[in-house]
């Protein structure tokens, strides 16, 4: 079945460091891919998305490129801030499903000043 794998956390970085969170997926067909972010005490919210191969999603300085050949969608940011501390979820949605999203296990990020 469909699945999403993420690098294990927690990840701790200093402010202004470069961030990479790895994500790989298994799915039939051509899924859409997403990154969601969960801040403490809140629900998940969409950070960025990519709907086809080689698409790059970007938002708030975060980027991720849909790589079909490696079935990956790694999240990157050039310079993290303390306010980026959160849990990040990689996710996919198959084109044939209603609107069901398969979430990865989440990666916790802590950014220290």
For residue 66, the minimal CB distance to another protein (Å) is 13
CA trace torsion 34, 92, 3, 76 (10° rounding): -20
77-93: burial string, b at 16+ Cβ within 10 Å, e else: beebeeebbbbbbbbbb
Residue 32 as a binder of another protein (CB under 8 A): the answer is yes
Stretch that binds another protein, among 19-27, 53-61, 73-81, 98-106 (CB under 8 A): 98-106
Residue 35 as a binder of another protein (CB under 8 A): the answer is no
Cα–Cα distance, 85 to 39 (Å, whole number)? 7
Stretch that binds another protein, among 7-15, 61-69, 72-80, 91-99 (CB under 8 A): 91-99
Residue 49 as a binder of another protein (CB under 8 A): the answer is yes
Q: Which residues bind another protein (CB under 8 A)?
A: 32, 34, 41-46, 49, 51, 89, 93, 98-101, 103, 105-106
């Amino acid at each position: 079945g469909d699945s999403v794998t993420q690098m294990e956390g927690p990840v701790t970085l200093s402010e202004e460091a470069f961030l990479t969170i790895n994500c790989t997926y298994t799915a039939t067909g051509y899924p859409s891919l997403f990154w969601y972010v969960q801040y403490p005490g809140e629900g998940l919210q969409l950070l960025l998305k990519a709907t086809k191969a080689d698409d790059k999603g970007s938002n708030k300085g975060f980027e991720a490129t849909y790589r079909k050949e490696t079935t990956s969608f790694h999240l990157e940011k050039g310079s993290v801030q303390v306010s980026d501390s959160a849990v990040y979820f990689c996710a996919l949605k198959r084109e044939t499903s209603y609107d069901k999203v398969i979430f990865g296990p989440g990666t916790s990020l802590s950014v220290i000043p």
